């Protein structure tokens, strides 16, 4: 499965970037395939391992504030791996052939 998520502290007196960096660090240290862009971090893996990482990242952000915003979108496609790059590659191939 692929999970794209965004997590941020609400009402924190500290920098949002510091809290988000902690969340991204947790994702990167998980060993799961991942990519971070300006809006979301996307991770790929099995349900339990991906959700564990999302929970730990959310908890880390929660340590910076009493309230957390979490936005999550999932693509659950059993039996498929490598889709973090595969989905983008297929679109790029179609763009190149047209």
Residue 84 has pLDDT above 80, yes or no: yes
The predicted-structure confidence for 49-80, as pLDDT tens digits, reads as follows: 999 999 999 999 999 888 999 999 999 999 99
pTM of the model: 0.90
What pLDDT is stored for residue 12 in this prediction? 67
For the chain, which domains are there? 2-97 (3.30.70.930)
Secondary structure (3-state) at 35: strand
SS (H, E, C) 46-66: CHHHHHHHHHHHHHHHHCCCC
Q: What is the pLDDT of residues 4-39, one digit of tens each?
A: 999 999 986 677 899 999 999 999 999 999 999 999
């Amino acid at each position: 499965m692929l999970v794209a998520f965004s997590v941020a502290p609400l009402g924190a007196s500290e920098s949002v970037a510091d809290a988000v960096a902690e969340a991204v660090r947790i994702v990167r240290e998980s060993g799961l395939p991942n990519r971070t862009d300006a809006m979301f971090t996307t991770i790929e893996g099995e349900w339990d391992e991906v959700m564990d990482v999302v929970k730990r990242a959310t908890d880390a952000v929660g340590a910076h504030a009493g309230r957390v915003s979490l936005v999550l979108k999932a693509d659950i496609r059993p039996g498929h791996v490598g889709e973090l790059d595969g989905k983008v590659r297929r679109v790029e191939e179609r763009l190149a052939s047209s």
